Chain A
Amino acid sequence: MSAPVLELERAARTYPGEPPVEALRGVTFAVLAGELVAVVGPSGSGKSTLLHLMGTLDRPTAGRVSVTGLDIAKLSDPDLAALRASRIGFVFQQFHLAEHSSALENVADGLLYGGVAAPERRARAAEALDRVGLSHRATFRPSKLSGGERQRVAIARALVGRPAIVLADEPTGNLDSAAGVAILELLKDLHRDGATIVVVTHNHDLAAELPRRVEVLDGRIVADGRPA
């Protein structure tokens, strides 16, 4: 059995306010290297908060979150930034691509904060674009690409640093169904090549396609299992 890449132990996140909002109420689960996991739940279930904790963008108010064995509560801001730069890749629903840069430059920016020199960034970005099947679009600006192509660029950017885990937040949320299916196939493909991927979504049909589903409701995990 491979070591867990991501581990949550009774992780909770409460937002201060009147009354305080308990977004996550003690979540325990682990993601092993090479897994493809769907975290599924309706809006307001706490899955976005969960994504933020898994991505070390936020810290738990109670419990423990470990990424590649490092307890994120014990890391300073520069260490957390280095962790994100080297071991975590993000894919967002809105793509978050820079409009003024080409697809290649956008992918290369995935390595910007990892201390990689510019020529190597471009070489590896070209490789990653090739992997998602967009070599022929390398010089295009995002505005000249279709939604599906933009999401492929974003996935290439998440992969270019060869992270331990890729977190995808509603990766098909802004796409039509055909493009969505293609993105899903790409994710499965990457998973077969050994990538560890967590997809956060509210879409049960999409989740049903993935080998493991973690269902979240009201800040708790209500089901965790593989489809029959």
Chain B
Amino acid sequence: MTGLVAVRLRPADLARVASVGLRTRRLRAALSALGIAIGVGAMVAVLGLSASNQAGLLAEIDRLGTNLLTVQNGQSLIGDKAELPVQAPAMIGRIASVTQVAATAGLSATVYRSPLIPSVQTSGLQVQAASVDLLPAVGTTVAQGRYLNAATEREPVVVLGAQAASRLGIDRVFPGERVWLGGQWFYLVGILRPAALAPEIDHSVLVGFDAAKRHLGFDGHPTEVYVRADTAAVAAVQSLLAGTADPEHPDQVDVSQPSAALEARAKAKGALTGLFLGLGAVALLVGGVGVANIMVISVLERRSEIGLRRALGARRSQIRAQFLSEALLLSLFGGAAGVLLGALATAIYASTQGWAIVIPALGWAGGLGAALGIGAIAGLLPAIRAARLSPTEALRTA
């Protein structure tokens, strides 16, 4: 029996001992924690911004309404473009739960600013016949001028989609403004705001159905029908649309829900964040190397402290625990600062964009966890070296 009792350090004592190096060398500790903070901050900000962006997009989609369905002419059996029946919009309008119906029809005519423009320079614009009730159905409004109405829809006038206006170089509506469309002048009456749920409208130059028939040889077959249904009945309506639009060839009709496609795209947008996350991880790794570096130097500089602690009765394992805890503490501070930094960056950017601020748990918990993991790895080797130092070596005067 030796009568000797090996005792553990109490947690509070270990914490105090572990913070000695940080308290005495504050600038150095702060700088090496900064390395970790930048890495963690970048990761949290990337995840936070991507999540907030997504939340913003989904909120925008919700605002536009998820109850919009579109009906398009599909392909016939032999691969040609199929035609929707002329009466398709009216038929669809008779489905219960359908609240709004509007139609457009693609025309083969081309549009130019003036007849002097070479005919190949179409600017990628599409001329479409549009019904007078299009705007509420697709969820957009007029930016300038006015939309087609019962009177103007039979006259040679146009309304420009947001993109179409900028491509034609027209930024405002004034009396007498006109475009060269299908070999004759059409007068401009309005410009639309962007339609997020129906981006094809943005690239279109819209004329009334009757005007298209009278001036452009339009046969009256719509190519796209926009349908708003009660939100609760969207799925039921969707299943009825093809058969209602074209009872003879329901298989030649394409039905889709634009908001669903947008949501899927918003969710898939996370793909790019992988790259930035990788960059954040590299920054964190560099920060970890900084911590390891500082710990190695610290062990070299504090030999006499290590020797003294051994003389006071510290075991090897207690010296090891001291330096490992110090590295962990350093990374924890860095990680916490990084989470705050990343959250702050997310909050500032998200609020300028009007998005909800979302910091995913993966971001802050993962960031802290990664920081601690890096700290443990960075501190392990220096801690083992400190513990292996023989007490006589450590006490030798330099």
With contacts A57-B395, A58-B390, A100-B20 taken as known, whether A86 is within 8 angstroms of B313 at the C-beta atoms is: yes
Residue pairs across A and B with Cβ atoms less than 8 A apart, 20 shown, are: A52-B391, A52-B392, A57-B391, A70-B2, A78-B6, A81-B313, A81-B314, A81-B316, A82-B6, A84-B310, A84-B311, A85-B314, A93-B397, A96-B307, A96-B395, A98-B20, A109-B312, A112-B9, A112-B312, A113-B313
Stretch from A114-122, A127-135, A178-186 forming part of the interface with B: A114-122
A90 and B311 within 8 A (CB): yes
Closest to A56 in B: B391
Shortest CB distance A40–B (Å): 19
User: Is the Cβ of B2 less than 8 Å from the Cβ of A85?
Assistant: no
Q: How far is the CB of A147 from chain B (nearest CB, A)?
A: 16
Question: Nearest CB to that of A111 among chain B residues?
Answer: B312
- B310: chain A residues within 8 A (beta carbon): 57, 81, 84
Measuring CB to CB, which residues of chain B are less than 8 angstroms from any residue of chain A? 2, 4-10, 12-13, 17, 20, 23-24, 304-305, 307-318, 390-392, 395, 397
Is A117's CB under 8 angstroms from B10's CB?
yes
Known: A57-B391, A58-B391, A86-B5. 8 other contacts (CB 8 A): A52-B391, A57-B310, A57-B390, A81-B313, A85-B7, A96-B305, A112-B314, A118-B12
List chain A residues, Cβ under 8 A from B12: 118
Q: Which residues of A contact B24 (CB under 8 A)?
A: 99-100
Please determine whether A77 and B312 come into contact, CB atoms closer than 8 angstroms: no
Q: Does A94 contact B (CB under 8 A)?
A: yes
A73-97 with Cβ < 8 A to chain B? 75, 77-79, 81-86, 90, 92-94, 96
Q: How far is the CA of A82 from the CA of B316 in the complex (A)?
A: 11
B9 → chain A closest CB, angstroms: 7
Cβ of A55 under 8 Å from chain B: yes
Residues in chain B near residue A75, CB distance under 8 A: 2, 4
A110 contacts chain B at the CB level, 8 A cutoff? yes
Separation of A132 and B327 alpha carbons in the complex (Å): 37
Q: Which residues of B contact A112 (CB under 8 A)?
A: 9, 13, 17, 312, 314
B5 cross-chain contacts in A, Cβ below 8 A: 82, 86, 115
List of 4 A-B pairs having minimum Cβ-Cβ separation, nearest first: A85-B313, A115-B7, A113-B313, A81-B315
Is the Cβ of B4 less than 8 Å from the Cβ of A83?
yes
Of the listed residues A85, A92, A98, the one surrounded by the most CB atoms of chain B closer than 10 A to its CB is: A85
In the complex, the chain A residue whose C-beta lies closest to that of B23 is A100
* B315, A114: Cβ atoms closer than 8 Å: no
Q: A52-B392, A57-B395, A70-B2 are in contact. Are A82 and B20 (CB under 8 A)?
A: no
Taking a contact as CB atoms under 8 Å apart, the answer to whether A113 and B10 are in contact is no
**List of B residues within 8 angstroms of A115 by Cβ:** 5, 7-8
Residues of A with C-beta under 8 A to B395: 57, 92, 96
CA distance A112 to B310 in the complex (A): 11
State whether A113 touches B392 (Cβ < 8 A): no
Name the CB-closest residue of A to B5.
Answer: A82
Q: Give A184-221 as 1s and 0s: 1 = Cβ < 8 Å from B's Cβ atoms.
A: 00000000000000000000000000000000000000
Q: Give the residues in chain A near B315, CB-CB below 8 Å.
A: 77-78, 81-82, 113
Task: For residue A68, give the distance in angstroms from its CB to the closest CB of chain B.
Answer: 8
- What distance in Å separates the Cβ of B315 from its nearest Cβ neighbour in chain A? 4
In the complex, which residues of chain A have a beta carbon less than 8 angstroms from the beta carbon of B8? Answer: 115
In Å, the complex CA distance between A81 and B12 comes to 20
In whole Å, how far is A77's beta carbon from the nearest beta carbon of chain B?
A: 5
* Cβ–Cβ < 8 Å partners of B23 in chain A: 100
Contact A114 to B317, CB < 8 A, known contacts A75-B2, A94-B397, A100-B23 = no
Report the minimal beta-carbon distance from A227 to chain B, rounded to whole angstroms.
30
Q: Which listed residue, B6, B10, B13, touches A79 by the CB 8 Å rule?
A: B6
B4, B17, B24, B313 — which one has the most chain A CB atoms within 10 A of its CB?
Answer: B313
Minimum C-beta distance from B205 to chain A (A): 77
Cross-chain contact B392 with A57 (CB below 8 angstroms): yes
Distance of A96 Cα from B304 Cα, bound (Å): 7
Query: What CA separation (Å) do A85 and B315 show in the bound complex?
Result: 10
Rounded to whole angstroms, the CA-CA distance of A78 and B314 in the bound complex is 8
Contact A113 B4, beta carbon cutoff 8 Å: no
With A94-B304, A100-B20, A118-B13 as contacts: A82 and B312 at CB distance below 8 Å: no
Give Cα distance in the complex from A112 to B311, angstroms.
12
On whether the beta carbons of B391 and A82 are closer than 8 Å, the reply is: no
Closest to A105 in B: B16
Cα-based distance from A112 to B308 in the complex (angstroms): 12
A79–B4 CB distance below 8 A: yes
B312: nearest residue on chain A (CB-CB)?
A113
Interface contact A86-B392, CB-CB below 8 Å? no
Do B4 and A98 touch across chains, with their CB atoms under 8 A apart? no
